[in-house]
Structure 1
């Protein structure tokens, strides 16, 4: 399942989806937590994008492990960062759920505990910034593993 699609390795194909969806999810979740007008406009969008980010990250992780064993190579740092990338994506998903829940609570009643918006903002900022930083670190280590150092 995580080996090839039409003879092409799944990993480099799916990685690009994760690299697009995770930063997009991070930006949309942070905006939804901080900007009520965006939150109202976006609705369930940030939650859906974060969910897709988790799915693509999981498939990228599993297909990367399959590709690594198929080629018999060791991409140590990249594999470690890829494993932890899933946890960052899941953390961002938790933040997206919190922001979505906050939005639903505000629509249904004005009784929103004071700690809920603050918690949603903190979760979204930590999850969003951490996810983007980790995407860059993981991608850089993968490029380094495949291409080596091409800059002088």
Structure 2
């Protein structure tokens, strides 16, 4: 899909990425460090992460179409290069969301004392929590960097520092 209502689809799809990736990252970190939150979210966590993952290649593909339909520019090329790096972060969010969901679901039926007694399970939860924080921060920082470069590419030389006198 390259156009939506006559506008480049990338312009629409990017909003999904900008909202879903940070939202997924936040939900993942909260769920990974607070098992009660993970139990409350349940399967919503991996579903949210999957939706985030799906939006990334859609947005990237629409962006590549748009890149072929605008003048070549170093800022556009930089934005494109940065955008190509988001998919691994989104995949990491999805994998970790599935792990957090699975480990929480697996221990949900056990009494509180039994949950702490399973050393292997505790190690998996701790590792998942640490990885969740790292991947979430990486994903959000990458979304910021990509968005910033996209805004610079779209808006450089497109506005005046001074008002043009067009009052609305």
Fold agreement, TM-score > 0.5: yes
Q: Which residue of 2 aligns with 1:137?
A: 145
Between stretches 89-98 and 10-19, larger displacement belongs to 89-98
Between stretches 67-76 and 84-93, larger displacement belongs to 67-76
Rg bigger for which structure?
A: 2
Q: Which residue of 2 aligns with 1:73?
A: 72
Change over 3 Å in CA distance of 1:112–1:70 after alignment to 2: farther
Give me the CA root mean square deviation.
1.9
Deviation at 1:52, TM superposition (A): 0.9
Q: Which residue of 1 aligns with 2:132?
A: 124
Q: Which residue of 2 aligns with 1:60?
A: 59
Secondary structure in 1 aligned to 2:72? coil
Paired with 2:106 and 2:29, the residues of 1 have a C-alpha distance of 18
Is the 1:26–1:128 contact (alpha carbons within 8 Å) kept by the matching residues of 2? yes
Q: Which residue of 1 aligns with 2:93?
A: 92
Secondary structure in 2 aligned to 1:47? helix
Is the 2:39–2:108 contact (alpha carbons within 8 Å) kept by the matching residues of 1? no
Q: Which residue of 2 aligns with 1:102?
A: 103
Paired with 2:87 and 2:21, the residues of 1 have a C-alpha distance of 10
Between stretches 72-81 and 25-34, larger displacement belongs to 72-81
- Give the number of equivalent residue pairs: 151
TM-score by length of 1: 0.91
Q: Which residue of 1 aligns with 2:11?
A: 12
Deviation at 1:71, TM superposition (A): 2.1
Gaps of 5+ in 1: none
